[in-house]
Amino acid sequence: MALNNDVRPEANELLASVAEQLKVPLAIIARQAELGVLQGRRGLADTPAAQGLDAATIATQADAALMLVDSYLLGLELLRTQTQLELEPVSVSSLLVDAAHDLHGFARQYGVTVDLDMAGRYGPVMSNARGLKAALLSLGFALVEAQATQASDLSESVGKKPARVLLAAHRTPHGIVAGMYGTNQAVSASAWRRAQALCGKARQPFAELGAGSAAGLFMADTILRSMESRLRVGRYLHAGGLAATLQPSQQLQLV
Amino acid sequence: MHVLLLEPNTLLAQTYTQALQQDGFSVAHAASAQTAVFAADKHQPDVVILELQLPEHSGLEFLHEFRSYPEWKDVPVIVHSMLPPTQTIQVEESLRRDLGVKALLYKPRTSLTQLLRVVREQTHHLELKAGKRQSATEEAV
């Protein structure tokens, strides 16, 4: 990493957004733990409802929060120091599989299915494994929460619609597109541009997707920009979401 | 007593719903303002617990629409939000005076016990009011 000690004002805006976002998993952990205590006092700890709120639930939320903190720290450091991550040949398929695995427990708690779809076989792309994984996780956690909100809302009005997040890669003339897509409400490019302009300035910059600060999306974009890519709105198999275009590693293609 | 819970996060909603149900309340959950209006129509809530930060339309927009219906004019609303008190304090007076908000709670610092206490207080007021109305009706008869 080449270091530059200039501090960018965007880092402060992103930090505000991150602080808002982290309230959610911490509130879930605190309230679920408290509910367990209340149920214990009332002798309800053995009921089916109480058994759903066991220590494993709290542990999954805490693990997710810790993974997010790591991703957020990387993004903030990149923004603060204006550094670029070193590009290296990376297997996008392996990273998507890893990210799907890490998201699985978290998504299950939200009633969201995580699926993988890799259309074709790809050689490595030029990216940074740590950075790309952090970006995928930031994006994934945010989309799972948003999909769960939309699905639970739809269930009240027009019948239960299953929530699903699809992690996918496909080849285009511009490169390999890796992204995450939701089966519920899609996002528009104009809404995403507006959200980026409002990052850190509005409490709900991306209300079209969900409540909250959308820090995970901005963080994913920040990390991707440090790897010569960026997050943009995309569609795949009738699902809308956010994706990044990655350049194939030319050197290894020759081999 | 029926509670309408407007909470965008489904895990938090499940937790609050369980706590309220174990306290004897029936709970209808909505994750957005638009659905909340349908849910209110269907479940006729006695109390509303409202997050101001909702997807698409804000909790404030919901509250204005909710209050525009005569049958929900007097339903107590408890604001229970991720917005810090430094933000809500600017609109607190207007929320209480113009929109009938009975309490403003900062979600990250409000325990389940505190939330349940505030909901119970509101339902207790409703029961007292209903009791008075009943007595007045009986006296009139």
pLDDT digits (tens, 9 = 90+) for A235-245: 998 889 999 99
Q: Say if the Cβ atoms of B53 and A150 lie within 8 Å.
A: no
Amino acid identity, residue B141?
A: V
In this prediction, residues B77-85 reach a mean pLDDT of 94
Q: Is residue A1, in this structure, part of any structural domain at all?
A: no
Q: In degrees to the nearest 10, what's the CA dihedral of A246, A18, B104, B130? A: 40
A4, pLDDT greater than 80: no
Residue B139: both structure tokens together: 């006296």
Q: Is residue A178, in this structure, part of any structural domain at all?
A: yes
Average per-residue pLDDT in chain A?
85
pLDDT at A189: 87
Q: A81, A104, A129: which is the final residue of a domain? A: A81
- Does one domain contain both A114 and A227? yes
A11, pLDDT greater than 50: yes
How far separated are the first and last CA of chain B, in Å rounded? 27
Q: From the list B12, B38, B53, which residue is nearest A157 (CB)? A: B38
Closest-CA residue to A21 (of A193, A210, A177, A171): A210
pLDDT at B129: 79
Q: From the list B38, B56, B112, which residue is nearest A35 (CB)? A: B112
Q: Residue B85 maps to which CATH number?
A: 3.40.50.2300
Percent residues over pLDDT 70 in chain B: 99
Instruction: Decide if A233 contacts A240 (C-beta within 8 A).
Output: yes
Q: Say if the Cβ atoms of B53 and A211 lie within 8 Å.
A: yes
Half-sphere exposure of residue A91: CA atoms within 13 angstroms, side-chain side: 8
- Does one domain contain both A15 and A132? no
Q: Is residue A3, in this structure, part of any structural domain at all?
A: no
A9 versus B27: the higher-pLDDT residue is B27
Question: Which residues are bridge partners to A232 per DSSP?
Answer: A243
In this prediction, residues B110-116 reach a mean pLDDT of 97
Report how many Cβ contacts below 8 Å link chain A to chain B: 105
Find the chain B residues whose C-beta atoms sit closer than 8 A to any C-beta of A.
8-13, 15-16, 18-19, 21-22, 28-32, 34-35, 38-39, 51, 53-56, 58, 82-83, 87, 107-108, 111-113
Percent residues over pLDDT 90 in chain A: 48
Q: From the list A32, A34, A110, which residue is nearest B10 (CB)? A: A110
B137, pLDDT greater than 80: no
pLDDT at B110: 96
- Does one domain contain both A72 and A93? no
Q: Say if the Cβ atoms of B31 and A152 lie within 8 Å.
A: yes
CA distance B98 to chain A (A): 23
State the best of B7, B27, B32 to mutate against chain A, taking most chain A CBs within 10 Å: B32
A26, pLDDT greater than 70: yes
From A5-9, A15-19, A86-90, A229-233, the region with the lowest mean pLDDT: A5-9
Cα separation, A72 vs A165, whole angstroms: 21
- Does one domain contain both A29 and A126? no
Structural domain including A129 reads 88-254
Q: Residue A208 maps to which CATH number?
A: 3.30.565.10
- Does one domain contain both A147 and A76? no
Work out the pLDDT band at B91, boundaries 50, 70, 90.
confident
Q: Is residue A51, in this structure, part of any structural domain at all?
A: yes
Q: Say if the Cβ atoms of A53 and B15 lie within 8 Å.
A: yes
Work out the pLDDT band at A1, boundaries 50, 70, 90.
very low
Phi-psi region of A15 (alpha: psi -120 to 50; beta: other; left: phi over 0): alpha
**A44: helix, strand or coil:** coil
Work out the pLDDT band at A7, boundaries 50, 70, 90.
low
Cα separation, A169 vs B66, whole angstroms: 44
Closest-CA residue to A149 (of B6, B71, B10, B101): B10
State the best of A42, A152, A154 to mutate against chain B, taking most chain B CBs within 10 Å: A152
Question: Which residues are bridge partners to A79 per DSSP?
Answer: none
In this prediction, residues B113-136 reach a mean pLDDT of 86
Sign of torsion over alpha carbons B63, B64, B69, B75: positive
Work out the pLDDT band at A45, boundaries 50, 70, 90.
low
Residues of A in contact with B38 (CB under 8 A): 156-157
Cα separation, A221 vs B96, whole angstroms: 40
Cα separation, B121 vs B46, whole angstroms: 12
Q: Say if the Cβ atoms of B35 and A207 lie within 8 Å.
A: no
Work out the pLDDT band at A2, boundaries 50, 70, 90.
very low
Q: A81, A96, A127: which is the final residue of a domain? A: A81
Q: A81, A109, A129: which is the final residue of a domain? A: A81
Q: Is residue A152, in this structure, part of any structural domain at all?
A: yes
- Does one domain contain both A57 and A102? no
- Does one domain contain both A107 and A226? yes
State the best of B6, B14, B105, B117 to mutate against chain A, taking most chain A CBs within 10 Å: B14
Residue written as token pair 């990387």: A74
In this prediction, residues B23-38 reach a mean pLDDT of 94
User: Scanning every residue of chain A, which has its alpha carbon at the shortest distance from the alpha carbon of B52?
Assistant: A211
- Does one domain contain both A61 and A14? yes
Structural domain including B36 reads 2-140
Torsions phi, psi for A8 (to 5 deg): -90, 140
Q: Say if the Cβ atoms of B11 and A34 lie within 8 Å.
A: no
- Does one domain contain both A184 and A238? yes
Q: Say if the Cβ atoms of B22 and A38 lie within 8 Å.
A: yes
Residues of B in contact with A34 (CB under 8 A): 111-113
Instruction: Decide if A231 contacts A45 (C-beta within 8 A).
Output: no
Into how many domains does chain B fold? 1
C-alpha distance from residue A25 to each of A30, A65, B50, B60 (Å): 9, 6, 19, 24
Residues of B in contact with A141 (CB under 8 A): none
Using a CB–CB cutoff of 8 Å, tell me whether A86 touches chain B.
Answer: no
Half-sphere exposure of residue B8: CA atoms within 13 angstroms, side-chain side: 30
- Does one domain contain both A189 and A127? yes
- Does one domain contain both A56 and A115? no
Residues of B in contact with A44 (CB under 8 A): 22
pLDDT digits (tens, 9 = 90+) for A160-216: 567 899 999 999 999 999 999 987 766 788 888 988 888 877 878 888 777 777 889
A64, pLDDT greater than 80: yes
From A101-105, A107-111, B89-93, the region with the lowest mean pLDDT: B89-93
In this prediction, residues A213-233 reach a mean pLDDT of 92
Q: In degrees to the nearest 10, what's the CA dihedral of A202, A204, A205, A209? A: 180
Into how many domains does chain A fold? 2
Average per-residue pLDDT in chain B?
92
- Does one domain contain both A106 and A214? yes
